[in-house]
């Protein structure tokens, strides 16, 4: 009785499944993978019909003939196909994947018992390489492998169905047998915050500088400072998503990596935005350690800290940027002035701002593999370390971290969660999930932010960022030129040129961070990266039809 109860109750479900598997054969019904759109409804990833051809050795009546036909149609070797068609140890084999409709029609006309096909889907990317590292691609099994395809795979993948046929013991379909149809559930559509027009503009600008400067790589990220939605992400070089280099895993991994999120670098002078923001906020709060905006920095080209000498990039000849205010120090990108600011604020205060701007931790972007950067533990920081952090050395950040921090510094001091997802919806338009802007915290107050934005507008109008100036539009920004390190040593002749810019300066709607890795010849951010940002902004002005606002 115990055994009877066990078989009837406990073991029942498994036995029913085994029996069903013995007297039926299944033809899979592939679910359509959800589509990916940009914020305007432009298709970035979709599907087209394809077919997978299967064979059951037990049901193949003439393996020689079938192997010859399949070999001639597929171009595959006769011997290999014949071996599969006669291998009765396996109930089913896959002959070919992603077959065209014409191929299936040829099989139908050849009358090959035991050979059948099922409808499949082929993933297509209408814009090829556009936003390649962001969108990502799928495996041959239609599962997300990288990018958004991977991060939102659970929504995109859907659930396959099947058609069940009654068969005899060896798997041959019974004459007059009925079929049971279990429908597939298609995947959900994902709409991104990306704007394909801005993405194309940014890719064109970065592709041009990559070629003209013979750089190792070029990157750009464009975000909306109002909610930190990502409008464009460019990583060059890239590849065609329709034809990823699957045979070269090393190249595939390198090219498909979204370095804006996953990699880190020493930001250099673009980081001075953060140091200036911290000082202005502390000054407005009445902290006597903060240096006021009209403070006159000593004209000396050097500062000595803990026995190390820190120099300005300029030689200060002919009185160049001697006796300068904070606004002028930003214009001239004078390192010693920002050494003074960091040391004046002190480690505890300065680190509280680094934490508020989320350096050393994740931004929370909806993308896999985000780096948290590298920030020295506060307890181990010496004065010489603090001094260098003040002008963007001895700290490493991801490009997205820096872009978000800069956006918060100029948007009134609001730090939101950066995001790529706009919504997830069904084919009938039902919206399952929508991303709302999420405030993480405040970094500085609105008054300090407005003061800083005005100073950075001066950098573009009068200072090192003048190559990003656009007549009639209020553009702010900061240049950066950082040396690269290899094996703990400065790599001679290798630099990272960068520029972070935004407009309109009084109420930012667009912020772009441009990075050019190892440009040859001229390597300053002012001459290499700033013009790229200008080109991106001019493209946005054109497609968005933004009227001049003065400046």
Mean pLDDT computed over every residue of the chain? 90
Q: Same domain for 218 and 147?
A: no
Would you place residue 466 in the very low, low, confident or very high pLDDT band (cuts 50, 70, 90)? Answer: very high
Q: Same domain for 156 and 220?
A: no
| Cα distance between residue 440 and residue 365, in whole Å | 12
CB 383 within 8 A of CB 358: no
What is the spatial order of strands in the sheet that 161-166 belongs to? 24-29, 161-166, 179-182
Q: What is the pLDDT of residue 66?
A: 87
Residue 3 lies in a domain: no
CATH of the domain at 495: 3.40.710.10
Q: Same domain for 391 and 485?
A: yes
Would you place residue 433 in the very low, low, confident or very high pLDDT band (cuts 50, 70, 90)? Answer: very high
Q: Same domain for 212 and 309?
A: yes
Separation of CA 550 from chain center:
34
Helix (H/G/I), strand (E/B), else coil: 187: coil
Quick one: angle between helices 63-74 and 78-85, nearest 10? 140
More confident residue, 91 or 218: 218
Angle at 549 between CA 544 and CA 550, to 5 degrees: 140
Q: What is the pLDDT of residue 119?
A: 76
Beta strands 189-192 and 36-37, pairing class: parallel
Find the range with the poorest average confidence among 4-13, 351-360, 430-439.
4-13
Quick: pLDDT tens for 113-165. Answer: 888 777 778 899 999 999 999 999 998 767 999 999 999 999 999 988 876 66
User: What mean pLDDT comes out for the span 339-355?
Assistant: 98
**Number of domains, the chain:** 2
Burial (0-12, 13-18, 19+ Cβ within 10 Å), 184: middle
Residue 550 lies in a domain: no
Q: What is the pLDDT of residue 74?
A: 79
Q: Same domain for 225 and 186?
A: no
Would you place residue 44 in the very low, low, confident or very high pLDDT band (cuts 50, 70, 90)? Answer: very high
Q: What is the pLDDT of residue 339?
A: 97
User: What mean pLDDT comes out for the span 518-538?
Assistant: 96
Q: Same domain for 396 and 308?
A: yes
Residue 15 lies in a domain: no
CA atoms within 13 A on the CB side of 264: 19
Going by the DSSP 8-state scheme, the letter that residue 319 receives in this structure is G
More confident residue, 31 or 388: 388
Going by the DSSP 8-state scheme, the letter that residue 240 receives in this structure is -
| Residue the block writes with tokens 């290899």 | 486
Quick: pLDDT tens for 382-412. Answer: 999 999 999 999 999 999 999 999 999 999 9
Q: What is the pLDDT of residue 492?
A: 84
Q: What is the pLDDT of residue 22?
A: 61
Nearest to 458 by CA among 404, 413, 505: 505
Check whether 253 has a pLDDT greater than 60: yes
More confident residue, 104 or 479: 479
Please measure the distance between the N-terminal and C-terminal CA atoms of the chain and give it in whole angstroms. Answer: 91
Going by the DSSP 8-state scheme, the letter that residue 77 receives in this structure is -
| Cα distance between residue 346 and residue 383, in whole Å | 9
CB 156 within 8 A of CB 188: yes
CB 502 within 8 A of CB 477: yes
Check whether 227 has a pLDDT greater than 60: yes
User: What mean pLDDT comes out for the span 261-286?
Assistant: 97
Check whether 487 has a pLDDT greater than 90: no
Helical spans, DSSP H, in 371-509: 383-389, 399-410, 446-462
Name the pTM for this structure: 0.88
What is the chain's Cα-based Rg? 30
More confident residue, 173 or 516: 516
CB 60 within 8 A of CB 85: yes
Check whether 178 has a pLDDT greater than 70: no
User: What mean pLDDT comes out for the span 229-233?
Assistant: 98
Cα 144 to Cα 38, 148, 156, 184, 264, distances in angstroms: 18, 8, 8, 18, 25
CB atoms within 10 A of CB 40: 10
| Cα distance between residue 16 and residue 157, in whole Å | 28
Q: Same domain for 130 and 277?
A: no
**Omega into 237 within 30° of 0, i.e. cis?**
yes
Last residue of a domain, one of 144, 174, 192: 192
Would you place residue 54 in the very low, low, confident or very high pLDDT band (cuts 50, 70, 90)? Answer: confident
Nearest to 449 by CA among 380, 353, 543: 353
Angle at 30 between CA 24 and CA 32, to 5 degrees: 160
Residue 83 lies in a domain: yes
Check whether 175 has a pLDDT greater than 80: no
| Cα distance between residue 336 and residue 272, in whole Å | 11
Q: Same domain for 236 and 331?
A: yes
Q: Same domain for 160 and 204?
A: no
User: What mean pLDDT comes out for the span 434-447?
Assistant: 97
Residue 177 lies in a domain: no
| Percent of the residues in the chain that have a pLDDT greater than 70, as a whole number | 92
Q: What is the pLDDT of residue 63?
A: 85
List residues with catalytic annotation.
269
CB 409 within 8 A of CB 273: yes
Last residue of a domain, one of 155, 172, 192: 192
Residue 62 lies in a domain: yes
Angle at 484 between CA 251 and CA 330, to 5 degrees: 125
| Residue the block writes with tokens 């010859």 | 68
Compute φ and ψ for 133, nearest 5 degrees: -75, -20
Sign (positive/negative) of CA torsion 51, 92, 242, 148? positive
| Residue the block writes with tokens 């260098």 | 388
| Cα distance between residue 105 and residue 73, in whole Å | 11
CB 523 within 8 A of CB 217: no
Check whether 283 has a pLDDT greater than 70: yes
CB 501 within 8 A of CB 476: yes
Quick one: angle between helices 196-212 and 530-544, nearest 10? 150
Separation of CA 417 from chain center:
15
| Cα distance between residue 277 and residue 390, in whole Å | 11
Check whether 40 has a pLDDT greater than 90: yes
Query: Which pair of tokens denotes residue 338?
Result: 């920002």
Q: Same domain for 148 and 240?
A: no
Check whether 27 has a pLDDT greater than 80: no
Quick: pLDDT tens for 76-114. Answer: 888 888 888 888 777 777 888 877 888 888 887 788 888
More confident residue, 85 or 240: 240
| Cα distance between residue 503 and residue 506, in whole Å | 8
Q: What is the pLDDT of residue 317?
A: 61
Check whether 438 has a pLDDT greater than 90: yes
Q: What is the pLDDT of residue 18?
A: 67
Check whether 172 has a pLDDT greater than 60: no
Would you place residue 179 in the very low, low, confident or very high pLDDT band (cuts 50, 70, 90)? Answer: low
| Cα distance between residue 548 and residue 541, in whole Å | 9
Q: Same domain for 148 and 97?
A: yes
CATH of the domain at 44: 3.90.1310.10
Query: Which pair of tokens denotes residue 230?
Result: 């990502």
| Cα distance between residue 275 and residue 309, in whole Å | 20
CB atoms within 10 A of CB 382: 14
Residue 173 lies in a domain: no
Residue 18 lies in a domain: no
Check whether 454 has a pLDDT greater than 60: yes
The H-or-E segment that residue 85 falls in is helix 78-85
Q: Same domain for 416 and 286?
A: yes
Helical spans, DSSP H, in 136-255: 147-151, 153-156, 196-212, 249-255
Domain span at residue 467 reads 196-426+437-544
Quick: pLDDT tens for 326-345. Answer: 999 999 999 999 999 999 99
């Amino acid at each position: 009785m115990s055994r009877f109860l066990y078989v009837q109750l406990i073991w029942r479900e498994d036995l029913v499944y085994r029996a069903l598997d013995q007297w039926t054969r299944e033809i899979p019904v592939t679910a359509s993978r959800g589509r990916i759109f940009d914020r305007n409804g432009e298709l970035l990833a979709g599907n087209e019909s394809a077919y997978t051809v299967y064979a059951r050795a037990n049901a193949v009546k003439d393996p020689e003939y079938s192997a010859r036909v399949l070999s001639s149609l597929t171009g595959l070797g006769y011997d290999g196909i014949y071996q599969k068609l006669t291998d009765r140890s396996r109930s089913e084999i896959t002959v070919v994947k992603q077959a065209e409709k014409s191929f299936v029609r040829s099989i139908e006309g050849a009358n090959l018992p035991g050979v059948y096909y099922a409808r499949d889907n082929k993933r297509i990317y209408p814009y090829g390489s556009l936003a390649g590292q962001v969108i990502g691609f799928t495996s041959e099994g239609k599962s997300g492998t990288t990018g958004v395809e991977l991060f939102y795979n659970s929504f995109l993948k859907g659930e396959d169905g099947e058609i069940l046929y009654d068969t005899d013991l060896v798997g041959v379909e019974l004459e007059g047998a009925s079929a049971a149809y279990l429908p597939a559930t298609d995947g959900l559509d994902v709409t991104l915050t990306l704007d394909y027009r801005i993405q194309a503009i940014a890719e064109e600008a970065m592709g041009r500088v990559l070629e003209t400067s013979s750089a190792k790589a070029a990157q750009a990220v464009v975000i909306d400072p109002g909610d930190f939605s990502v409008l464009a992400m460019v990583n060059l070089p890239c590849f065609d998503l329709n034809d990823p280099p699957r045979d070269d895993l090393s190249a595939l991994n390198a090219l498909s990596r979204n370095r804006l999120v996953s990699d880190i670098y020493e930001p250099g002078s673009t980081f001075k935005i953060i140091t200036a923001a911290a000082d202005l906020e502390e000054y407005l709060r009445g902290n006597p350690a903060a240096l006021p905006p009209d403070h006159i920095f000593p004209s000396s080209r050097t500062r000595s800290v803990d026995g190390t000498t820190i120099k300005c990039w300029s030689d200060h000849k002919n009185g160049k940027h001697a006796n300068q205010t904070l606004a002028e120090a930003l214009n001239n990108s004078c390192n010693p002035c920002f050494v003074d600011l960091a040391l004046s604020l002190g480690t505890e205060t300065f680190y509280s701002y680094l934490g508020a701007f989320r350096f050393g931790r994740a931004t929370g972007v909806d993308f896999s593999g985000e780096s948290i950067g590298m920030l020295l533990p506060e307890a181990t920081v010496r004065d010489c370390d603090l001094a260098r952090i003040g002008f963007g050395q001895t700290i490493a950040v991801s490009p997205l971290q820096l872009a978000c921090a800069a956006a918060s510094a100029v948007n009134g001091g609001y730090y939101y969660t950066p995001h790529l997802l706009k919504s997830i919806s069904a084919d009938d338009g039902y919206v399952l999930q929508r991303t709302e802007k999420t405030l993480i915290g405040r970094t500085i107050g609105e008054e300090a932010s407005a003061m800083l934005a005005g100073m950075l507008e001066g950098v573009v109008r009068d200072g090192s960022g003048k190559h990003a100036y656009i007549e009639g539009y209020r553009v702010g920004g900061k240049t950066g030129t950082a040396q690269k390190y290899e094996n703990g040593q400065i790599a001679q002749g290798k630099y990272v040129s960068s520029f972070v810019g935004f407009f309109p300066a009084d109420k930012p709607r667009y912020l772009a961070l441009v990075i050019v890795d190892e440009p040859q010849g001229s390597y300053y951010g002012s001459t290499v990266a700033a013009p790229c940002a200008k080109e991106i902004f001019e493209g946005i002005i054109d497609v968005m039809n933004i009227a001049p606002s003065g400046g």
